[in-house]
């Protein structure tokens, strides 16, 4: 008897589809907030300055790393999706291309994370790691 209500156990291609949607929504949310906080300068420059000052925290710094990671994954996976759609052999090599973009993402994000958080780490711990 088949179990009812089980969680779909898709392969890596399904999870890349989910990650593409999540990163797209995350970037869209950021753009919405960015437009709102930038528009605040016309309403009240002092309020704008306060909002911008609140962004200079360690939490927001790590959120910026997440944003860069989301944009990078979304862009790389988008190129993979284009290749799958328009390259005759794209469907045959989609998993290999996915693992390639994951490797490229990691190779870029590891040093990017270090350099993007260096000032926060120095501020929290008082020295260079």
Q: Is residue 68 part of a domain?
A: yes
Mean pLDDT, range 79-101, rounded to an integer? 88
Q: Is residue 65 part of a domain?
A: yes
Q: Is residue 97 part of a domain?
A: yes
Q: Is residue 38 part of a domain?
A: no
- Give pLDDT, residue 9: 65
Q: Is residue 39 part of a domain?
A: no
- If we measure between CA atoms, which residue out of 12, 129, 27 comes closest to residue 80? 12
C-alpha 32/C-alpha 26 separation (Å) is: 10
Number of compact structural domains in the chain: 1
6-58 residue pLDDT tens: 566 667 778 888 899 999 999 999 999 999 989 988 988 898 899 889 888 88
More confident residue, 52 or 5: 52
Residues spanned by the domain of 81: 57-129
Q: What is the pTM of this model?
A: 0.81
55-88 residue pLDDT tens: 888 899 999 999 999 999 999 999 999 998 888 8
């Amino acid at each position: 008897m088949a179990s009812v209500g089980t969680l779909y156990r898709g392969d890596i291609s399904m999870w890349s589809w989910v990650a593409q949607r999540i990163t797209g929504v995350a970037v869209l949310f950021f753009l919405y907030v960015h437009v709102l906080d930038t528009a605040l300068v016309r309403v009240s420059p002092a309020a704008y300055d306060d909002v911008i000052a609140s962004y200079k925290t360690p939490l927001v710094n790590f959120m910026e790393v997440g944003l860069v990671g989301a944009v990078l994954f979304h862009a790389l996976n988008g190129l993979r999706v284009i290749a799958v759609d328009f390259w005759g052999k794209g469907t045959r090599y989609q998993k290999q291309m996915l693992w390639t973009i994951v490797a490229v993402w990691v190779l870029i994000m590891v040093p990017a994370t270090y350099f993007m958080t260096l000032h926060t780490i120095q501020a929290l711990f008082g020295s260079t790691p």
